[in-house]
Amino acid sequence: MSLKAVFFDMGGTIDTYYYTRESRINNVHFIRECLAKAGITFDLNDEELADTISRGVATYHKWNRESMIELTPPEVWSQFTLKEFGITLKQVEPIAEELTYLYETKFYERPIRPEIIHVLEKLKALGLTIGCISNTQSKTQVPETLKRHNIYQYFDPIVLSCDFGIRKPDPSIFYHAARLAHLPTSSIIYVGDKLTRDILGAKRAGYRLAVQIKHPYDDGDPDLGPEPDVLIHDLLELIPLVENELKKDREKVSKLNGNPIKALFFDAGDILYYRPIKEKGLKEFLAGKKLNPHPQIEVEKKRLRDLAFSGKLDRKEYYRGVIHLYGITDPDLIEEGVAAQEKDDDTVSIYEGVSETINHLKQQGYLLGIITDTALPISTKLRWFEQHGFGGLWDVVISSKEMGVRKPAPVLYEEALKQTQLEAFETAFVGHRNYELAGAKAVGMKTIAFNFDKDSIADTYIENFRDLLNIPLLADKF
C-alpha cells in the first residue's frame, strides 16, 4: 500500500513539554481557584498543594501505564489525585475537565517545535493526511494547544486516549485512528518520542514506519521498547524521509498485478486460533458445587454474550453474569468463576500453517485484516499472534466490541472496505460460520470457508490453512 498519511504524537513530538517544581508552586493557584468554584478547599499552602497534586497524578500515571486504561477526568481526580482527601466523583465532576486542562497547561510548559508549521505545510502539499494520536487526560488541552499555535486545521483525525478510553501503546488506539482516517495502517507513518508508547504501539498495529524523534526532557519514566525504524532529531528530517517513501511507491511494481484479489479479511476465532478445550476452567470451577441453573441458561448465556460482544456489557460483568446463571451468589465464588473464564479465554492454540501463510500473503503484497466478534481487547488477540510470529502484519482490525454490532451486520465489512479503499470484489473474507460468510457475500466480497460448518456456503473451501496459497481465487489465472 502506498504512503497516504503521517500521524504524530503530541507531547514530546509536536510540543516539547517540561516542568519544574517551582513553576508548579507558582501556578497552583489556578487549580486552587478552580477547586473553590466547586466548594472544595484545603488547608494547605501552595507548596503542599502542588506536591499533593503532582503525587496524585504520578500515582495515576503509574496505574494507567500498567493497565493502559485512560479514566475520565472526574474519575482521575476522585480516585487518584485527590483521593487522600475523600473528594467524591460527584463533587469534582462539574470542574474535572477544567482542572485537568489547568494541570496539563499550568503545571507544564509546552512550547511547540518551531519547525512544525513548515513540516505540516509540506506534508499537506504532498497530498498526505495528517493525524494525531495522544495520551492525555484532558479532552481540550490538545485541541486548544493546536489552535493556539494555529495548526489545528492540519489534523484530522485527532484521537485522544481520554476519549477512546485506552492509551498507547495499546495497538487498538492506533487501529482506531487509522479507521477514522479510512486508511490501512501500512499506509501510515507514525512519529513519536517514546519507545515504550509510540514506537511499540505503532509497530504492533502494523504502521508503515515508526519514527522516533528525540525529546530532550526526561520525565523519569523508563523508556524501553523496540528500536524505531528511523531516528530523527528535528522534524525537518521527516520531509526527505517521506519524499523517499513516496518515490519508492512510484517505482514499486506490485506483486499482485493481474490478481483480482488485493485484500484478505479473516475471522479470528476458529480461523486463526482455537481453544483446545472450551470452557475447561469454567467446568472445573463448577464441578462439585451446588448449582441452581437458570431454566433457560443457554438462551441467557447467548443474550449476555451478544451484549458483551457488541460492547454493551463489560467483559467482567459478562463473566459475573454467567456465574449468576448457575445460581452462585457468593461474591468470592463469583470472582473465582470470573478468573476461571478469563483463563479459558486466554488459552488458545494457533492452527497449523497460519503463521507462515499469513507472512507469505503479506510478502506477496496483500492487505490483511481481521473482522472479529469479540468481547476481548484487540491487544489480547494481537499478543497471541505476536507470540506465534504473525503480529504487526495487520492493516485493518474491525472489532464488534468497538463497532457496537456483531456479524453479519454489513457495517463491519463495509468499514474494512473503507480502510483498504478497495471495491468489495477486490477482497475476500475467510470464515467458518454460514452467517458471517453470508454477511461478507452480501456486501460483495468473495468468500473462503475454512474449518467450516456443514451448512456454510462459500465461493471456495479449504481443508488446511496453507491451502490459501494455492486456491484459484488468489491466482493470476482466476
pLDDT tens digits, one per residue of 422-439? 999 999 999 999 999 999
pLDDT in tens, 208-247: 999 999 987 766 677 888 999 999 999 999 999 999 999 9
In this prediction, residues 97-117 reach a mean pLDDT of 96
Spatial distance between the Cα atoms of 251 and 244, rounded to a whole number of angstroms: 11
Would you say residue 477 has pLDDT above 50?
Answer: no
Q: What integer pLDDT is reported at residue 223 of this predicted model?
A: 84
Does residue 439 or residue 288 have the better pLDDT? 439
Spatial distance between the Cα atoms of 97 and 108, rounded to a whole number of angstroms: 16
In this prediction, residues 59-83 reach a mean pLDDT of 93
Spatial distance between the Cα atoms of 391 and 201, rounded to a whole number of angstroms: 12
Q: Provide the b/e sequence for 374-396 (b: ≥16 CB within 10 Å).
A: bbbbbbebbebbbebebbbbbbb
What is the pLDDT confidence band of residue 257, given thresholds at 50, 70 and 90? confident
Do 152 and 8 touch, CB atoms closer than 8 A?
A: no
Nearest-CA neighbor of 196 among 174, 175, 168? 168
Q: Is 113 helix (H, G, I), strand (E, B) or coil?
A: coil
Spatial distance between the Cα atoms of 24 and 20, rounded to a whole number of angstroms: 6
Q: In this structure, which amino acid lies at residue 194?
A: K
Nine-digit cell string for 136: 492525555
* 367-372/396-399 β-pairing: parallel
| Side-chain-side CA neighbours of residue 240 (13 Å) | 5
Cα end-to-end span (Å), the chain: 22
For 183-232, give the DSSP string.
--GGGEEEEES-IIIIIHHHHHTT-SEEEEE--S---S-----PPPSEEE
pLDDT in tens, 155-193: 999 999 999 999 999 999 999 999 999 999 999 999 999
* Percent of residues, the chain, with pLDDT higher than 70: 98
Would you say residue 123 has pLDDT above 70?
Answer: yes
pLDDT in tens, 296-348: 999 999 999 999 999 999 999 999 999 999 999 999 999 999 999 999 999 99
Q: What integer pLDDT is reported at residue 478 of this predicted model?
A: 34
In this prediction, residues 442-446 reach a mean pLDDT of 98
pLDDT in tens, 51-69: 999 999 999 999 998 999 9
pLDDT in tens, 465-476: 999 999 998 864
Instruction: Give me the phi and psi of 187, to 5 degrees please.
Output: -100, 10
Q: Is 371 helix (H, G, I), strand (E, B) or coil?
A: strand
| Bridge partner list, 75 | none
Q: Does domain 263-274+348-474 have CATH number 3.30.70.141?
A: no
The set of residues, in sequence order, having a beta carbon less than 8 Å from that of 313 and lying 6+ positions away, is: 304, 307, 321, 375
**Poorest-pLDDT segment among 18-22, 262-266, 441-445:** 18-22
What is the pLDDT confidence band of residue 78, given thresholds at 50, 70 and 90? very high
Nine-digit cell string for 365: 503484497
Spatial distance between the Cα atoms of 97 and 78, rounded to a whole number of angstroms: 12
Question: How far is CA 169 from its chain centroid?
Answer: 8
Q: What integer pLDDT is reported at residue 475 of this predicted model?
A: 67
| CATH top class, domain 5-16+110-251 | alpha beta
Q: What integer pLDDT is reported at residue 1 of this predicted model?
A: 85
Residue 21, number of CB atoms within 10 A of its CB: 11
